[in-house]
Amino acid sequence: MNKPKKAAILSLLFMGLGQFYNKEKIKGIIFAAIEIFILINIPYFTYSFWGLITLGETPQYFYNGLAYGDHSIFLLIQGIIAVLVIFIFILIYILNVTDAQRTAIAREKGIKPMSFKSFVKYSFDKYFPYIILTPCFILMLFLTVLPLLFSISIAFTNYAAPFKLPPKNLVDWVGFENFRNLVNMPIWNSTFIGVAIWTVIWAVLSSVTSYFAGLFLALLINAKEVKLKKFWRSIFILPYAIPAFISILVMRLMFTGLGPINSIVVSLGFERVPWLTNSTLAKVMLILVNIWLGAPYFMALMSGILTNVSNDLYEAADIDGATRFQKFTKITLPLVFHATSPLLILSFTHNFNNFMIIFLLTSGNPANPAYRYAGDTDILISWIYKLTLEQNQFHMASVVSILIFIFIATVSALTFSKTKSFKEEDLMQ
Amino acid sequence: MTVKIKENKPSSQLQDNGTKSTHHSTKNFKISDIFVKILIYFMLLTISVIVIVPIIWIVGAAFNPGNSLFSSTIIPKNFSTVHFRTLFRETDFPIWYKNTLKIATINMFVSVLLTTSAAYVFSRYRFKGRKFGLMTMLILQMFPSFLAMTAIYVLLLQVGLLNTHMGLILVYATGQIPYNTWLAKGYFDGIPRSIDEAAKIDGASNLMIFRKIILPLAKPIIAFIAITNFIGPWMDFILPRLILRSADKKTLAIGLWEMAVQQHNTKFTVFAAGSVLVAIPITILFIYLQKHIVEGLTKGAVKS
């Protein structure tokens, strides 16, 4: 057997062996230590996998004042963590085998193996991208991918109040039952469809209105008649600068039933207006408050673009006798559209999941008795909030999350693939 | 009227030179010009009022004695700083402020470091898994979930980071990676590669090119990422409520949110005072840096 093959097989048998065979002691010790660490923890991993598969076998009980038994959700998360750790271990294992083989090949050719120090320096240069990305990779694996896998898993369990709530009860895997229930059970079905329709209407209207309101503000400030442009721009950008949760709460307090707006209305001799408690009016208010909050962002963006539009274009148009309106529709609008249309899509996906404004302004109210745990102004994401943090209906929340994800991912994929900027990028190489 | 027309003479001549417009139509154009001017200023003023009224109202409430939302008039009748005193004596406001400042500052540095280095690598190097990494990041951030919070809670509990600022910062810094990396990568792509290739020929190392060449050229996008990550913790009241369990660890957003929501509005004016103290520094910072923010955002996200 030739040396490279031998080194690879040795490393495959036990991490680090191939490195010792290649007379690279420090590397060998490091790899061997990792393998020993995993071996010591085998009971932990078998327990974790058992937990992941069964989700526990004995519900929690108390004995002499101490709690015993299994907590399904902890077991599920621990199981996923174990899978991720094993995944990293496999990556290191592959690295270990290829490294042993590569060094052995080099040795056969008569190249002296590098000292550990120069090896570190060499790999830092050669594998620079991977080394730089490692912290991001580890962080995202555990704080983004793990929560994501967990959220998806819940859709296939019966984790929900009142009967399947750990630690008192165990949770079970149920396959696609929740998806079937969402389609078949009228109360879930009608809530989902009702909320989803309003979510789409909301996402479209809120994005389009603040986009055009922003464009309008930018054009207004950019008009040649306006003096002190910087002054006006600083005023108009205020809503973007003030922490949004404060301004939304302020709006909520201003428009409550007995709030200051209604006292003005009453003093003018009218009835109190149910700004946030009438279904239709509350929806209109959401859109209006969202314009207040969102238009300055687009204004800032578009004034940047407008000031960059070459004046020659307008002068040429003047010579041709174009009216103000013609200049606007034939020059300004196409240029702005071209530069900002991807942002309009981003804004759509943002508003589709714009939890903060719904939660803080109306909390989804007024309540709708025909809906399950949702109000008239609830969008899918705020419904999910209620399902998880208020009603403990985790299984359905997870199903709805997955559906939102599929929808948003499809919309984004379709629009991004059509965007010029994405095609120019050498991702498509 | 006539004076105005005279003022606009130069441009009307230009109009006459270039077009066949008659004298009559030029005069009409002038009158409509004045009308347009009045209309524009009318709109500017109206919008300014709409923008500013909620702000004045909250500032007024902060200085208005009494604690009811309903008695507050827009301009306070008796100017008083009693709510600010209450805020500092009877609530943990100073502790919240200190905590938030600490979290925001560390989060800013950690996030900028993670994001710019990742974006640099994605922009300048071609390596196995690059395409996959970029696409995965884009897709991952689209998953909406409050369920994820349960997993984060259990994970932090298991590694002993629950109820620590460190845990919260890690969650923040990780959460911003996908979006900001894409943004910064877009910006770096716009910096000509010939610059760093020349440096490479001169023997500069990877890290040196990043530190000495790319970073100084990328100030606007770094400013944008730094500001958004600094401001984030001042606004978020969802994650801190999950992760920070004890009163001495609270951040401003939770403290204020609880005041505004839970007390049947009896603490409204104290909330107003707190909001003013939070909003003022952030607003000033934002207005001061708005040029960078807009530039970073435009060049990172908009392709012309």
A219-259 per-position pLDDT tens digit? 898 888 888 888 888 889 888 878 888 888 888 888 887 77
CB contact B132 to A (< 8 Å): no
In angstroms, the CA B239 to CA B153 distance is 10
Q: Is the dihedral of CA B110, B112, B115, B120 positive or negative?
A: negative
Task: Give the CA dihedral A192, A193, A196, A198, nearest 10 degrees.
Answer: -120
pLDDT interval class at B29 (50, 70, 90)? low
Q: Which residue in the set A235, A303, A340 is minimally distant from B51, CB to CB? A: A235
Test A300 with B36 for CB contact under 8 angstroms.
no
pLDDT, tens digit, for every residue of B205-226? 888 888 888 888 888 888 888 9
Residues 204 through 263 of chain B touching chain A, CB cutoff 8 Å: 205-206, 231, 234-235, 237, 253, 256-257, 260-261
- SS3 track for B80-126: CCHHHHHHHHHCCHHHHHHHHHHHHHHHHHHHHHHHHHHHHHHHHCC
CB contact B114 to A (< 8 Å): yes
Test B237 with A245 for CB contact under 8 angstroms.
yes
Best mutation target, A133, A156, A236, A429, to test chain B (most B CBs within 10 A): A133
Contacts of A130 in chain B (CB under 8 A): 127
Mean pLDDT, range A271-284, rounded to an integer: 90
**Residues A397, A384: contact at Cβ < 8 Å?**
yes
Closest chain B residue to A129, measured at CA: B121
pLDDT at position B73 is 58
Q: Which residue in the set A142, A238, A385 is minimally distant from B146, CB to CB? A: A385
Contacts of A394 in chain B (CB under 8 A): 147, 150
Closest chain B residue to A384, measured at CA: B146
Closest chain A residue to B261, measured at CA: A249
Test B303 with A397 for CB contact under 8 angstroms.
no
CB contact B2 to A (< 8 Å): no
The DSSP letter of residue B212 is I
Residues 135 through 194 of chain B touching chain A, CB cutoff 8 Å: 135, 137-152, 154-155, 158, 170-171, 173-175, 177-178, 181, 186, 189
pLDDT at position B67 is 62
Poorest-confidence range of A314-328, B27-41, B261-275?
A: B261-275
**Distances, alpha carbon A253 to alpha carbons A279, A295, B85, in Å:** 18, 22, 23
Nearest CA to CA, how far is A405 from chain B (Å)? 5
Measured in residues, chain B has a length of: 304
Mean pLDDT, range B142-158, rounded to an integer: 83
Q: Which residues contact B189 (CB under 8 A, 6 or more apart)?
A: A425, B123
pLDDT, tens digit, for every residue of A364-419? 888 888 888 889 999 999 999 888 888 888 999 999 999 988 888 888 777 766 65
- Prior bond of A59 cis (ω within 30°): no
Predicted confidence (pLDDT) at residue B18 exceeds the cutoff of 60: no
Test A339 with B55 for CB contact under 8 angstroms.
no
pLDDT interval class at A423 (50, 70, 90)? very low
The verdict on domain B92-301 having CATH code 1.10.3720.10 is: yes
- Residue A65 CA, distance from chain mean position: 42
Q: Which residues contact B141 (CB under 8 A, 6 or more apart)?
A: A144, B178, B179
Contacts of A133 in chain B (CB under 8 A): 118, 121, 133
pLDDT interval class at B13 (50, 70, 90)? very low
Q: Which residues contact B247 (CB under 8 A, 6 or more apart)?
A: B92
pLDDT at position B75 is 62
What one-character-per-residue DSSP string does B121-186 give? HHHH---TTHHHHHHHHHHHTT---SHHHHHHHHHHHHTT-TT-HHHHHHHHHHHTHHHHHHHHHH
pLDDT, tens digit, for every residue of A127-152? 889 999 999 999 999 999 999 999 99
Test B125 with A128 for CB contact under 8 angstroms.
yes
Beta bridge partners of residue A157, listed in sequence order:
A173
Q: Which residues contact B97 (CB under 8 A, 6 or more apart)?
A: B252, B277
In angstroms, the CA A359 to CA A364 distance is 6
Closest chain A residue to B253, measured at CA: A245
Contacts of B174 in chain A (CB under 8 A): 139-140, 143-144
Q: The tokens of A304 are what?
A: 């940047």
Q: The tokens of A362 are what?
A: 């109306």
Contacts of A301 in chain B (CB under 8 A): 294, 297-298, 302
Beta bridge partners of residue A164, listed in sequence order:
A160
Q: The tokens of A389 are what?
A: 């943090």
pLDDT, tens digit, for every residue of A29-38? 999 999 999 9
Test B174 with A139 for CB contact under 8 angstroms.
yes
Label the pairing between strands A66-68 and A61-63.
Answer: antiparallel
**Residues A250, A289: contact at Cβ < 8 Å?**
no
Mean pLDDT, range A58-64, rounded to an integer: 83
pLDDT at position B74 is 58
Contacts of B121 in chain A (CB under 8 A): 128-129, 132-133
Test A318 with B301 for CB contact under 8 angstroms.
no
In angstroms, the CA A201 to CA A207 distance is 10
- Prior bond of A135 cis (ω within 30°): no
- ipTM for the predicted complex comes to 0.79
When the pLDDT of each residue in chain A is averaged and rounded to a whole number, the result is 86
CB contact B98 to A (< 8 Å): no
Chain A, chain B: beta-carbon pairs less than 8 Å apart: 251
Q: Which residue in the set A132, A385, A394 is minimally distant from B121, CB to CB? A: A132
Query: Which helix (H) or strand (E) segment is B13 a member of?
Result: helix B9-18
pLDDT at position B170 is 95
**Residues A393, A380: contact at Cβ < 8 Å?**
no
Test B146 with A388 for CB contact under 8 angstroms.
yes
**Residues A340, A255: contact at Cβ < 8 Å?**
no
CB contact B117 to A (< 8 Å): yes
Nearest CA to CA, how far is A48 from chain B (Å)? 14
Beta bridge partners of residue A93, listed in sequence order:
none
Mean pLDDT, range B51-68, rounded to an integer: 80
Side-chain half-sphere exposure of A220, counting CA atoms within 13 A: 25
- SS3 track for chain A: CCHHHHHHHHHHHCCCHHHHHCCCHHHHHHHHHHHHHHHHCHHHHHHHHHHHHHCCCCCCEEECCEEECCCHHHHHHHHHHHHHHHHHHHHHHHHHHHHHHHHHHHHHCCCCCCCHHHHHHHHHHHCHHHHHHHHHHHHHHHHHHHHHHHHHHHCCECCECCCECCCCCCCCECCCHHHHHHHHCHHHHHHHHHHHHHHHHHHHHHHHHHHHHHHHHHHHHHCCCCCCHHHHHHHHHHHHHCCHHHHHHHHHHHCCCCCHHHHHHHHCCCCCCCCCCCHHHHHHHHHHHHHHHHHHHHHHHHHHHHHHCCHHHHHHHHHCCCCHHHHHHHHHHHHHHHHHHHHHHHHHHHHHCCHHHHHHHCCCCCECCCCCCCECCCCHHHHHHHHHHHCCCHHHHHHHHHHHHHHHHHHHHHHHHHCHHHHHCHHHC
In angstroms, the CA A207 to CA A294 distance is 8
pLDDT, tens digit, for every residue of B247-299? 889 998 888 888 777 656 567 778 888 888 888 888 888 777 777 777 766 66
Q: Map out the domains of chain A with their CATH numbers.
A: 3-175 (no CATH), 181-428 (1.10.3720.10)
Test A321 with B21 for CB contact under 8 angstroms.
yes
Beta bridge partners of residue A61, listed in sequence order:
A68
Q: Which residue in the set A259, A343, A412 is minimally distant from B142, CB to CB? A: A412
pTM of the model: 0.81
In angstroms, the CA B297 to CA A304 distance is 10
| Residue B265 CB neighbours (<10 A) | 19
Measured distance between the N- and C-terminal CA atoms of chain A, rounded to whole angstroms: 41
In angstroms, the CA A134 to CA A127 distance is 11
CB contact B54 to A (< 8 Å): yes
Best mutation target, A246, A252, A384, A387, to test chain B (most B CBs within 10 A): A246
Closest chain B residue to A296, measured at CA: B51
The DSSP letter of residue B263 is T
In angstroms, the CA B106 to CA A148 distance is 26
Test B40 with A147 for CB contact under 8 angstroms.
no
In angstroms, the CA B104 to CA B108 distance is 6
**Distances, alpha carbon B268 to alpha carbons A44, A233, A251, B34, B77, in Å:** 52, 30, 13, 46, 17
Q: The tokens of B299 are what?
A: 């060049």
In angstroms, the CA B9 to CA B30 distance is 10
CB contact B271 to A (< 8 Å): yes
Task: Give the CA dihedral B41, B42, B45, B47, nearest 10 degrees.
Answer: -110
